[in-house]
């Protein structure tokens, strides 16, 4: 009689966890793959601007290139990294 009661008490939380997992996956599929989440892709001929830069210029933004990275970077402060245990030898 004790074995039967033990299985019933263990079964309820397991069934509840399965139900929560099932409804969570169902909700995820509905939200991620619903008809409202489709990408609206336009051809280049239909779109107003072909590049992000052209759209920014049309909006009145000043587009400047990114500053180049210096060739020699300064040494980082702090301790140096540890030497590898098994250095590769030629």
Q: How far is Cα 60 from Cα 47, in angstroms, rounded to an integer? A: 18
Position 57 scores a pLDDT of: 87
How big is the chain, counted in residues?
90
pLDDT in tens, the chain (90 residues): 455 565 567 788 899 999 999 999 999 988 887 777 777 776 766 677 778 888 888 889 888 888 887 777 777 777 777 776 776 665
Q: How many domains does the chain have?
A: 1
* 13 domain residue, yes or no: yes
List phi, psi (to 5°) of 58. -65, -30
Position 2 scores a pLDDT of: 54
End-to-end CA distance of the chain: 72
Position 8 scores a pLDDT of: 61
Domain that holds residue 43: 2-58
* 24 domain residue, yes or no: yes
Q: How far is Cα 50 from Cα 47, in angstroms, rounded to an integer? A: 7
* 67 domain residue, yes or no: no
Contact 44, 50 (CB under 8 A): yes
């Amino acid at each position: 009689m004790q074995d039967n009661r033990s299985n019933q008490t263990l079964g309820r939380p397991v069934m509840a966890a399965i139900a929560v997992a099932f409804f969570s996956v169902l909700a995820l599929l509905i939200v991620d793959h619903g008809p409202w989440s489709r990408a609206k892709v336009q051809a280049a001929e239909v779109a107003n601007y072909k590049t992000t830069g052209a759209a920014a210029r049309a909006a009145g933004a000043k587009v400047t290139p990114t500053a180049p990275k210096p060739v020699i970077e300064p040494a980082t402060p702090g301790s140096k990294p540890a030497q590898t245990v098994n250095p590769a030898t030629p």
